[in-house]
Structure 1
Amino acid sequence: MFLSKRIHLMFFCFAFALSISAQEKSKAIALKDILQSLERQHHVSFNYINNEIVSLKIIPPKKHLSLNKKIDYLEKKTNLSFENLDNKFINVFSNNTLDSKTICGYVFSKQDNSPLENVNIQLDNGSGTSTNKNGYFELKKEESTDLLISYIGFSTKKNLVSDLPNKNCLKIYLEVEVSQLNNIITNSFLTSGISKIIDGTFEIKPKRLGILPGLIEPDILQTMLQIPGIYSVDESISSINVRGGTHDQNLFLWNGIKMYQTGHFFGLISAFNPNLAHTISITKNGSSAFYGESVSSVVDISSNPNKFEKNNFSAGINMINADIYSRFNISKKGFLEIAGRKSISDFVQTPTYKQYYNKAFQNTSITNFSNNQNVDYSSDEKFNFYDITVKYSQKIGQKDNLIFDFITISDLLKVFQTARINNTIQSENNILYQKNYGGNLSWKRNWNTKNSSKFNFYTSSYELDAEKNKIQDNLIVRQENKVLENGFKLENNHILNSKLTFNNGYQLNEISTTNLDEVNGPIFYRKIKEVLRTHALIVEGKYNDTISKIYLNIGLRLNYIEQFKKYLFEPRLQFNYAITNHFNLALLGEFKSQYCYQVIDLQKDYFGIEKRRWILANNTTIPIQKSKQASISFSYSQNNWLFTLENFYKKVIGINSSSQGFQNQLEFVKINGDYEVLGMEMLAQKKINHFITWLSYTYNKNNYHFPNLEQPVFPNNFKLDHSISWAGIYERKNLKIALGSKWYSGKPETTPISSIINSSNPSNPKIDYNTPNNKVLDDFFQVNFSTTYKWESLNEIQYKLGFSVLNVFNRKNEINEYYRINTITNSIEDVKTFSLKRTPNLSFRITY
């Protein structure tokens, strides 16, 4: 009996042992499955070589253990190394000793420690490979000395082969921020904060901007005027000319919204808050195929920050306006940004305001009303402007980002004038209102490390209204110009490998313009509304080899205009080759088109202050404007010297004479033609410690061609044969000083043949002119000065004081001249317009 019990007990123990052994064996599963389970449990990502773990099976760690203890358990059971990077990425390495002739490694982004796929790994003898999706690579050493690691969007890294270990694998981290410098030809162009990029674009960072002559704030468009080839013949930033083009031929975008109003004070101040924008990209030629609707330059203003910032607030005031800026985080992944600016003329009219007012309104119906009046003349003027911008940004998960932008710009002028003429009181009440508002909803989706998409829904509305009320005659004249644009844009980006990217997209635009003219006596009413809808397909391929130093971007934009059933092909080209480490060659070219632009019906429209109104092409009497442009440039940079030389050719066809601002025999003629520009731009710049000095020179040969005229070829209204600018800038710690000058030959004018009025038609007397633009005005010369000083209190509040003087020597520069008939004296009157007189400005800003 006892023996029987012992046998049963031994059998039970043996069976239990077998059961335990079987259970342990059954619990052993593939390591890959264990890692995938841990990824779901702890929201991490394991990076490994599949061949190293495919044959391993172990019992999974207990679920209640922490992530670190589970990793320790796996290391003991597998003899592998596990590197935990911020509990996000865990790299799995083999502990096996590699062949002494083999190099292996993992490449990660230093920004987020994520593995980088398709990184270009190359030895200096030409052999190379690329990383897999886990960032891993293997390469034979051979007889080489240098290992180059390059990846688009990241800095190129170099390692000496002799310094590489033979055991384990390399862990290489590439930096994003430094990598951007590889695409920069010049990091301080004219001053700090302005760079020239490898694709020919000028990039301005207002928050990093140094100082420029005459500027104490980073005014976007005033800064733009410092770049060679960009100027304004009448000192107005509402009349910016890029290589001979008119202002409306430039495309101005604010966070994807097309802006139809760009200036306050009718062109003397930029309409964009200088304390808001993070990046301004300016392209004179060779623009991306994603930009349409312009035949001249592209100015893309983006206030999207590249990184998450802390809460901040700032406020400032100068002798024209006051502004506030606030940015605060509403969550870990979202922030709200608000900025506003308003003129202070409602409270005080400073000397700066008075000089601006005199410049903006000279020789308009506002000032002409007072001409030849007696001492009883009086005027009550009210002028103010404001702009407001709002941004809301929200990251959704790891792959999505939603951004909403809103902007509104407004200028209002009210002038009430009275005068006693022949014992009769004459009075006028003039109101001029100009505004532009827009909104943009943007959603960006990163599908994976190589593919992303961006969707934009945007709207822009522009309105210009004027009303003149001659009270004693009960005569009311109204004028109105409106533009409404709505659109959708899709952009897809694909990284094919470390050198090649492919982009494609689609854009839908609908633009409507309305023009109204109304008079109550005699009754006259005219209202014209036009609508155009366009579609665009975009493809673009970029090749960027940081080793061979070749950059190539080829794009194609296919436009289709519904109303005209017309297709337009627009190829684009950007090519840059670094011949040496210091010498660059660039080729740029583009075909572009534009079907919404400005014309002038009468020089007295909108009181002569803002004479231009937006219209749409009709493909007959008002053609689509088309441009083609090509340029070749060279740049040399070494030992803090910079030399640039660019030769360009530009031709724009389909221009209408009413868009060119003629004030001669062509003022009331509406014919179509083209203009052709051949020019050269040069810059020499030297930096010595804290001092930068530069000298630029621009030459333009710019002529119109109107085939229906008796003399079809003559100089362009915006032609400046020669232009020279110089500046000396000193920046050290918190003190910045800039002194500069600009000189250019006078713009063309048309003179009368005789001082006697042609009265052959008594009902329509006229002036007999010489051939168009037969003469040029006197040379323009101006010296400007500015300085700023910044300091910080113990509680980290930052203060900034600025002072500037425009036209230091108070030179009287004539910027325009035309002729008109004076009906009172029955003679030809010579009318001249002059630049700003000496104009000081003072600013103060506080930031915390």
Structure 2
Amino acid sequence: MIKKILIALLFVAILLKQADAQQRLLSKVTVTGFYTTTLDVVLDTLVKNHHLKIVFDRKLAEKKLISERFDETPLNLVLKSLCKSAELNYWVEPDGTIYLVRTPEEVRSLQRAQRAAQPVNTQTIRTITTVKTDTLNKESKKNALKLFKLTGRVVDQLSGESLPGAVVNIENTGIRATTNADGYFTLTQIPADTCVIATFYVGYLSDRLALTAINPNETLTIGLSVARNNLEEVTIKSKKNDGIMSTDKRKVSVLQISPAKLAELPNLGEKDILRSFQLMPGVSASNESSSGAYVRGGTPDQNLVLFDGFTVYQVDHLYGFFSAFNSNAVKDVLLYKGGFSAKYGGRLSSVTEITGKEGTKKDWNVGGDLSLLSANVYLETPVKKSGSFLLALRKSYQGPLYNKIFSQFNKTTTATMGFGGGRGPGGGAQAATTPTSYFYDLNAKYTLNLGKKDLLAWSVYQGDDDLDNSRTINIPSFLNTTNSSISPSVTDKTTYGNLGSSIKWSRRWNSDLYSNTLVSYSSYHSDRDRTNTIGVTNEDGTEKSVSTGTIERNRLKDWSFKSDWEYQINNQIKFLFGGYGSAQNVMYKYSQNDTSVLIDQYKNAKTATVYGEGEFSPWQKLQFKAGVRETYYSQTGKTYFEPRFSGTYLLTDRFTIKAATGKFYQFINRVVREDILSGSRDFWVLANGNSIPVGNANHYIAGFSYETDKYLFDVEGYYKTLNGLTEYAQRLTGNRMSSTLEEHFYNGRGYTSGVEFLLQKKAGKYTGWLSYTMAIARNQFNDYGSSYYSANQDARNEFKSVNMYKLGNWTFSATLIFATGKPYTAPVASYTIDNASGASRNYLTISGKNTERMPAYHRLDLAATLDLIKIDNRKTGSISFSLFNVYNRTNVWYKEYTIYNNQVITTNVNYLGFTPNITLSLKWK
């Protein structure tokens, strides 16, 4: 027994001595380097640099992320640190072979694999024979830390198009960058070529790339693929990022949308870019008749809309139910809800920057969408080796299904007689409305690479609408106090559109300096004939007609030049600077019955702007921007100074606080022309500093966000002061005459305030978000009284629920919207006064400014989308079924009033009721 114990103790002593010898051997090998990558890359580097023999399960090691820094650290401590990070153990054999395993039993299985007759599967196990350690010191010096710079470009994997606004970062460090308008980025002070670079772009699969030996003079290209529903069938090593819309926690009040994923949302006709933004907090969703952005109490004209650098002044199609932008021609959309960069100016509320698709650089393709309301087709093709071309056409068409959908206007347009917006005695006057309308738009873009540093792009957009909302009104017999036959009719015809074009030269001077220089032209036109004709046939057969109404003409032309520059000193400091100049002329003519000209304005103005802004990140958790913008405006002869500031601070990896403030000016306005009877309209005019002052606003924004891999909770509060607001009003009916133009332009001020809440689920089969906005928008015009009143766009409460569920190739979605009703002004009564010459004039008694409220707005939309996938896993299209306003809610668009025998006949013009639609989207490749 004692002999056995002595043998056992001797055996243990030998093992301990052997282990001690192994540890001493490992301690002689020292490691220097910084690693933020997967375990397999770290082990391969150790094997290569130190000529070790390491055996491990490669499939397992590929899943283990390592972030460690070593400085002459002994190998045994390195192995302990690596195993601790990867939740593994290491085993050292007498011959020096190192095993990294989960349990000791795995060592034997790895050994058996080595002794097998066939060679070891290098996909699972990688071994390299050890050598003498007399060269270890030399190898350690070779592996010493060396910071380097990396310049790259993020593109679409299939088409080769650049992806602006993609986030690129070195994992487990504070080194990050955002790609510019042409997809380029620069990262400096990268600690080692074993780092992992991670790239994220909304609607695309994120990418993780382990860097290897890099030539700093070469540009790294990172290709991303669009996220699809059937990823379960494909092995994907990168994280899935299939969101439709995203917010960046390092930016304040910024939303980014993925046009490639829009088909999954419920829609009226087809994928709609601007309408999708309305589903996020802070952007009103109850303005169904406008694709324009009502952002944080602002109006659409206070939102600067840029398409490939030129300004788009008309963003609606077909009564506002479509946006003016074909999603097949759009690559990226960013919405800045407030506190935006000094790079942008000329608007008080927000900025929407749209980047058009360039067209594929790899192979030609053709595709399109067909729905019950419109059809569009696009063609994209490479042009030789260095260029690409895109052409997209879209047009609505009027067939039986189209007429059936728009007959909703007939069904929901009703009229009542009374006072105060229909609160008086009832009636049954019917306004028969049969809208006949169409629209079309065209996008074309040619892109040419002039070598490795220069890019030239020419973009063209044209869109036009022809709307006819004319109708007849049947007067009930009890309103007709004579035996005459009365046949009132309303002519309401509108045509409008936008033409824009830009030529852009982009140059990457070096890895630190980049510029975009652009020349552009944009024009807007709008013509409206809105007249009422009452035909009367007397008992003796004689006929006469009385016509009242308005005719409007609005023209705008805008020529501009802009040059934007980016200079990146390092990862902590980047400067933006540039200049802008424009020449604009605006014509507006407003007449009654084409005889009495009430407004006839033709104005020219020039603006010149310079700006500068610095982006600073003094340490990893803090990032802020500070900038100034200065603009000279020829109409006033004054210079306007606009300071801007925004910043974010990461309290933890998940919790971020943010704030922004700034001064903003607007020199061209879409002024509201109050029309109590026919519904208010608006028109573009230039500020003159007198009757139309230069508008200005101050933004104050603060909030926080909490984000995990699957969820985002975001809260932002804001307060905006507004000055220099303008409205045109004539509260006079009948033979309206104006002695001067300026006396009917009213000036005032206002403020908006609110709090926005967003809870978003970003990943998984079920995704979506809940948002709630509590907002106030109030104005004060001395001509309407000394008190503040609710602005036209005031909606105190808005709740939105967006839900999406993926099941195989299907995506099911549901959207619920609820909003407080908008305010409006109503006529209380009318009366007639005969003057000394015997002529009579009709006048209205008006309620207080916007003291009435529309009913609350709410609706539910449903949709189902089936992706059409080929055997090779390539998506070739989709078919979408949508149900708009499922429970057929009657939501009021606006009210119109007709005066007859001093009686006010109220007409509710309603939004669409229940409307089904089918959209088929196909592409050749």
Secondary structure, in 3 states, of the residue corresponding to 1:612? strand
Alignment match, 1:81: none
Look up the match of 2:497: 435
Which of these residues, 864, 887, 899, is aligned with residue 822 of structure 1? 899
SS at match of 2:728: helix
The one-letter code of the counterpart of 1:802 is S
Offset at 1:307?
8.1
Aligned to 1:553: 625
2:397 counterpart of 1:344 = yes
- Aligned pairs (5 A) from 1:206-225: 206-209=259-262, 211-214=264-267, 217-225=270-278
Aligned to 2:138: 97
User: Which structure 2 residue ranges, 5 or more long, are not aligned?
Assistant: 1-134, 155-167, 176-185, 227-238, 417-426, 476-483, 536-543, 734-741
Separation (CA, whole Å) in 1 of partners of 2:187 and 2:780: 59
Tell me whether 261-270 or 834-843 shows the greater mean CA deviation.
834-843
Structure 2 matches for 1:673-688, cutoff 5 A? 673-686=748-761
| 1:270 Cα offset (Å) | 0.8
What amino acid maps onto 1:597 in structure 2? N
* Percent of residue pairs identical: 24
The match for 1:694 is 769
When structure 1 is superposed on structure 2, of 194-203 and 717-726 the one drifting more is: 194-203
- Selected match of 2:912 from 821, 824, 836: 836
1:349 partner SS: helix
Picking from 505, 509, 514, the partner of 2:587 is: 514
Which whole-Å deviations, capped at 9, do the CAs of 1:238-257 have from their partners, x for residues lacking one? 55311111111111111111
- Determine the structure 1 residue equivalent to 2:818: 743
| Correspondent of 1:589 among 661, 664, 677 | 661
Does the CA contact (< 8 Å) of 1:480 and 1:516 recur in 2?
Answer: yes
Using the alignment, how far apart are the partners of 2:189 and 2:825 within structure 1?
71
The verdict on how the C-alpha distance between 1:533 and 1:770 changes in structure 2, with shifts beyond 3 A counting, is same
Mapped partners of 2:572, 2:196: distance in 1: 12
Alignment of 1:117-156 (within 5 A): none
Candidates 342, 363, 375, aligned match of 1:310: 363
Q: Output the amino acid matched with 1:739.
A: A
**Ranges in structure 1 where 5+ consecutive residues have no aligned partner:** 1-93, 114-118, 127-133, 182-186, 364-371
Q: Does residue 1:706 correspond to 2:758, yes or no? A: no
Match for 1:635 among 683, 701, 705?
705
CA distance in 2, matches of 1:233, 1:713: 23
TM-score by length of 1: 0.73
* Deviations 1:249-286 (CA, angstroms, capped at 9, x unpaired): 11111111111111111211111102221100000112
Residues 496-645 of structure 1 correspond to what in structure 2 (within 5 A)?
496-517=569-590, 522=595, 524=597, 527-544=600-617, 548-601=620-673, 603=675, 608=678, 611-638=681-708, 640-645=710-715
How far apart are the structure 2 equivalents of 1:780 and 1:284? 23
Give the partner amino acid of 1:846: L
The 5-angstrom pairing of residues 221-240 of structure 1 reads: 221-238=274-291, 240=293
Does the CA-based 8 Å contact 1:513-1:530 persist in structure 2?
yes
Contact 1:192 1:210 in 2 (8 A): no
The amino acid of 1:599's aligned partner reads: V
CA distance in 2, matches of 1:521, 1:124: 69
Residues 684/764 of structure 1: CA separation in 2 closer, same or farther (3 Å cut) = same
Q: Aligned ranges for residues 14-93 of structure 1 at < 5 Å?
A: none
Residues 517/709 of structure 1: CA separation in 2 closer, same or farther (3 Å cut): closer
- Residues 188-197 or 199-208, more deviating: 188-197
Question: Cα 1:750–1:106, aligned 2, differ >3 Å: closer, same or farther?
Answer: closer
CA distance in 2, matches of 1:692, 1:360: 38
Tell me: CA distance 1:761–1:595, structure 2 relative to 1, closer, same or farther (3 Å): farther
CA drift of 1:779 comes to 2.3
Distance 1:202 1:756 in 2: 46
8 A Cα contact 2:676 2:731, kept in partner:
no
2:161 alignment counterpart: none
Tell me the CA shift for residue 671 of structure 1: 2.2
Query: After the TM superposition, which of the residue ranges 418-427 and 838-847 deviates more from structure 2?
Result: 418-427
2:878 corresponds to 1:800: yes
What's the counterpart of residue 556 of structure 2?
A: 483
Which residue in 2 is equivalent to 1:258? 311
Query: How far apart, CA to CA, are the structure 1 residues paired with 2:354 and 2:605?
Result: 25
Contact residue 106 and residue 171 of structure 1 kept, 8 A: no
In structure 2, distance between residues paired with 1:529 and 1:768? 33
The structure 1 residue matched to 2:248, chosen from 187, 196, 202, is 196
C-alpha spacing 1:292/1:534, structure 2 compared with 1 (3 Å): same
Counterpart residue identity of residue 577, structure 1 = Y
| C-alpha separation in 2, matches of 1:635 and 1:569 | 31
Query: Letter of the aligned partner of 2:273 in structure 1?
Result: I
Deviation at 1:587, TM superposition (A): 1.0
Cα drift, residue 353 of structure 1: 3.8
Query: 1:360–1:574: structure 2 CA closer, same or farther, 3 Å change rule?
Result: farther
Deviation digits for residues 26-77 of structure 1 (CA, Å, limit 9, x no counterpart)? xxxxxxxxxxxxxxxxxxxxxxxxxxxxxxxxxxxxxxxxxxxxxxxxxxxx
Measure, in 2, the Cα distance between the counterparts of 1:714 and 1:137: 55
Could you tell me which amino acid in structure 1 is paired with residue 604 of structure 2? V
| Residue-by-residue CA offset, 1:55-100 (whole Å, 9 max, x unaligned) | xxxxxxxxxxxxxxxxxxxxxxxxxxxxxxxxxxxxxxx9993665
Matched-pair contact (CA < 8 Å) for 1:559–1:568? yes
Q: How does 1:148-547 map to 2 (within 5 A)?
A: 177=222, 191-196=243-248, 198-200=250-252, 201-209=254-262, 211-214=264-267, 217-238=270-291, 240-305=293-358, 308-345=361-398, 349-355=402-408, 382-414=436-468, 422=484, 431-467=493-529, 478-517=551-590, 522=595, 524=597, 527-544=600-617
Answer yes or no: is the 8 Å Cα contact 1:662–1:717 preserved in 2: no
- Aligned positions, number: 708
Q: SS at the partner of 2:289?
A: coil
- Across the aligned residues of Structure 1 and Structure 2, the Cα RMSD in angstroms comes to 4.7
Aligned counterparts of 2:169 and 2:402: Cα–Cα separation in 1: 62
Contact 1:361-1:609 within 8 A present in 2 as well:
no
Q: Could you list the per-position Cα deviations for residues 639-682 of structure 1 after superposition, in whole angstroms to 9, with x for gaps in the alignment? A: 5222111111111111013399999xxx9964211111221000
AA partner of residue 376 (structure 2): D
SS at match of 2:402: coil
Q: Is the 8 A contact 1:541 1:553 kept in 2?
A: yes
Distance 1:750 1:274, change over 3 A: same
- Residues 338 and 761 from structure 1, CA distance in 2 versus in 1: closer, same or farther, beyond 3 angstroms? same
CA separation of 1:95 and 1:500: change in aligned 2, threshold 3 A: farther
* Shift in alpha-carbon separation, 1:499–1:215, aligned structure 2, 3 A: farther
Q: How far apart, in 1, do the equivalents of 2:592 and 2:854 lie? A: 37
Partner Cα separation in structure 2 for residue 121 and residue 684 of structure 1: 28
Residues 552 and 264 from structure 1, CA distance in 2 versus in 1: closer, same or farther, beyond 3 angstroms? Answer: same
Paired residue type of 1:199: K
Partners of 1:570 and 1:226 in 2: CA distance: 31
Alignment of 1:742-761 (within 5 A): 742-750=817-825, 757=830
The structure 2 residue matched to 1:654, chosen from 709, 712, 724, is: 724
The answer as to whether partners of 1:491 and 1:505 remain within 8 angstroms in 2 is yes
- Give the Å deviation of 1:831: 4.1
Take 1:420 and 1:213, find their aligned partners in 2: how far apart are those partners? 37
Distance 1:122 1:768, change over 3 A: closer
Report the TM-score when normalising by structure 2. Answer: 0.67
Distance in 2 (CA, whole Å) between partners of 1:662 and 1:573 is: 46
Do 2:563 and 2:579's aligned partners in 1 also have CA atoms closer than 8 Å? yes
* Match in the other structure for 2:37: none
Report the Cα offset of residue 695 of structure 1: 1.7
One-letter amino acid of the counterpart of residue 494, structure 1: Y
